[in-house]
Structure 1
């Protein structure tokens, strides 16, 4: 599994969270504290929304470890943004390390990340493909469960670049329901870790979900202050009182500095 963070608020340099925080995302790429394997070295990615009038986010991905990439330091220390996603990857078994498999995935104004795995994905990947529209199938460039889930989501919103916040929430829940049905159809009854993250630069949708009741979901926290909301796999500093743990089987929506949680 992986580590990610999402930021929404006043414009900041991305390196404030990616590099400079005491438990920054780059620190988590080497020494994640809330997962059994502390290393997330199978690539990284950024997605950010420009300060000028442009709804389409920029992206930068690499298969290098985040701590050793010179360009990541340069980009995050020079670009200010009000909304961004960042991700460090620990590739699931059978998933190649390639740029096309690095998060965040992007379509139009949307960015998508995943921390977790859809266990036994190889058993139902073909069935997902059969159920996708031609547009969604053609969108997929890699072979990760995460990108296939995003393709399912894009079909749910009919690739609408102007989908409302309510539509995005409904589509996220339906995507998870469809994944569950695909898994049940092939007797994939082991656990799936489903921490999805989606944004259009205005609304963020996040989930923390484990399909088996006796398995703890991957960690997820948020910090909401007057000028910003941060959602992250781990708190980015040691002041734990500033962070709220997202409960299991919860959908979190963030818009205009407001955080709403609801059970899935």
Structure 2
């Protein structure tokens, strides 16, 4: 129900990753090619990026469609980065609008996105939410399924979990509580990327010519080097290495 992308690599303009590719995230907001659920991603967007002098990323988020935002066009034209995470949103019914509900969500050095839907939200996962510290619930950025997913992931990260297990365990927990949920999760700290393919499309591309790895809901061009990640798989990546680990579905 969204499209998202993470980039690690040589210093590039944001626009060279998000808006210049013929099928980039900008175009995916109104004409995605591989999206299985929904057709338009116009319920908000966001981009987070890292500067070399600061491990805490900057973010720009808005509640409207990315194609109608002239400020984004200016930012994409002039800002350079070695790492980013961006998303365009198609909202789950019954969730908040507004830019606070648009990915990427953030805490410290982390950026996070969720492509999918928690089935039966919020009732199906009320017990999962009850397991969080009260401060985590009070700090939710928005009343939406993705914000709760992020709180569950962040709780694991703060407890010392590595990025891959934090995503995999959260996906398994939510899938057990809310069967049929789509839980493509994406996380970066500017040096590594972790992602789950769980119910929707996920691809990666290694670009040695710019020392880069790209992880995305769908390819932004027709480069034959794009590789589709099998469903129920955990991806972890650096600029030079990609690892895929099968994940088990929870028992019914």
Give the alignment's TM-score, normalised by structure 1: 0.88
Using the alignment, how far apart are the partners of 2:45 and 2:220 within structure 1? 17
Using the alignment, how far apart are the partners of 1:236 and 1:170 within structure 2? 28
Could you list the runs of 4 or more consecutive aligned residues of structure 1 that deviate by over 3 angstroms after TM superposition?
A: none
Matching residue of 2:43: 42
1:82-104 superposed Cα distances (whole Å, 9 cap, x missing partner): 00011000111112321111100
Matching residue of 1:223: 205
Matching residue of 1:247: 230
Quote how far apart the aligned CAs of 1:139 are.
Answer: 2.2
Using the alignment, how far apart are the partners of 1:22 and 1:77 within structure 2? 16
Helix, strand or coil at the partner of 2:72: helix
Matching residue of 2:191: 202
Contact 1:153-1:175 within 8 A present in 2 as well: yes
Helix, strand or coil at the partner of 1:260: strand
Give the alignment's TM-score, normalised by structure 2: 0.92
Matching residue of 1:131: 131
Helix, strand or coil at the partner of 1:31: coil
1:73-125 superposed Cα distances (whole Å, 9 cap, x missing partner): 01111110000011000111112321111100000100000111111112234
Using the alignment, how far apart are the partners of 1:150 and 1:35 within structure 2? 22
- Superposition map of 1:117-196 within 5 A: 117-158=117-158, 167-181=162-176, 183=177, 188-189=178-179, 191-196=180-185
- 2:101 is the counterpart of 1:101: yes
Quote how far apart the aligned CAs of 1:39 are.
Answer: 1.0
Helix, strand or coil at the partner of 1:121: coil
Matching residue of 1:214: none
Quote how far apart the aligned CAs of 1:150 are.
Answer: 1.1
Quote how far apart the aligned CAs of 1:234 are.
Answer: 1.1
Contact 2:164-2:235 within 8 A present in 1 as well: no
**33-42 or 61-70, which deviates more:** 33-42
1:174-216 superposed Cα distances (whole Å, 9 cap, x missing partner): 21232234x1xxxx44x1111000111111100001xxxxxxx
Contact 1:3-1:233 within 8 A present in 2 as well: yes
**23-32 or 168-177, which deviates more:** 168-177
Quote how far apart the aligned CAs of 1:231 are.
Answer: 0.9
CA RMSD of aligned residues (A): 1.5
1:43-63 superposed Cα distances (whole Å, 9 cap, x missing partner): 100000112x21100001001
Name stretches of at least 5 consecutive residues in structure 2 with no aligned partner. Answer: 248-252
Using the alignment, how far apart are the partners of 1:26 and 1:263 within structure 2? 31
Using the alignment, how far apart are the partners of 2:152 and 2:242 within structure 1? 25
Helix, strand or coil at the partner of 1:151: helix
Helix, strand or coil at the partner of 1:206: strand
- 2:243 is the counterpart of 1:260: yes
- 2:5 is the counterpart of 1:21: no
Work out which of the residue numbers 204, 216, 220 in structure 2 matches 1:232: 216
Contact 1:8-1:257 within 8 A present in 2 as well: no
